[in-house]
Amino acid sequence: MGRFKQYRRPLVVMVAAVIADFTARFAFDFDMDRVVPFEAVLFLAGAGTLLWAAGRDKPFSPRAQRLDLWLALTFGLAGVRAGLWAGGMPVYIANLVILGFGIVLGALLFIRSRQTS
């Protein structure tokens, strides 16, 4: 069980986000005009939490640190996408924008991880 201790933090953040998202959906009666802005804030807060925690604690391994960074990236992109949707951007355009951001940021993270390894 000690080997998996390094994955506890990302798992807790993911489970907390899922619980908060489902709770908000039921609390707002699935009114997407109210759920999507909440999701934007929730996902951006999850990204911030993962980045803050990753910078605060010494990582157990480079793999755990990369996992924290990748999850922070995906939470951040999901938050930006939900924010674009809440702002009125059509879904397909917002998805294309996020796809472009994801490819660029993913490539930068990949290059950075190769330079530090």
Identify the pLDDT of residue 96: 94
**Distance (Å, whole) CA 83 – CA 65:** 27
Each domain of the chain, given as residue ranges in start order, spans 2-116
Which residue do the tokens 């000690």 mark?
Answer: 2
pLDDT digits (tens, 9 = 90+) for 29-42: 988 888 999 999 99
Identify the pLDDT of residue 97: 92
Q: Which residues of 1-39 are buried (b: 16+ CB within 10 A; e: fewer)?
A: eeeeebeebbeebeeebeebeeebbeeeeeeeeebbbbb
Identify the pLDDT of residue 45: 92
Nearby residues of 76 by Cβ (< 8 Å), 6 or more positions away: 43, 44, 47
Identify the pLDDT of residue 84: 92
Residue 10 has pLDDT above 80, yes or no: no
- Tell me which H or E stretch contains 4: none
Identify the pLDDT of residue 57: 63
* Mean pLDDT of all residues belonging to the chain: 84
**Distance (Å, whole) CA 49 – CA 58:** 15
Q: Which residue type does 47 have?
A: A
Higher pLDDT, 64 or 36: 36
**Distance (Å, whole) CA 85 – CA 82:** 5
Q: For residue 76, with 0-12 CB atoms within 10 Å meaning exposed, 13-18 middle and 19 or more buried, which class applies?
A: buried
Average pLDDT over residues 40-54: 87
Higher pLDDT, 64 or 72: 72
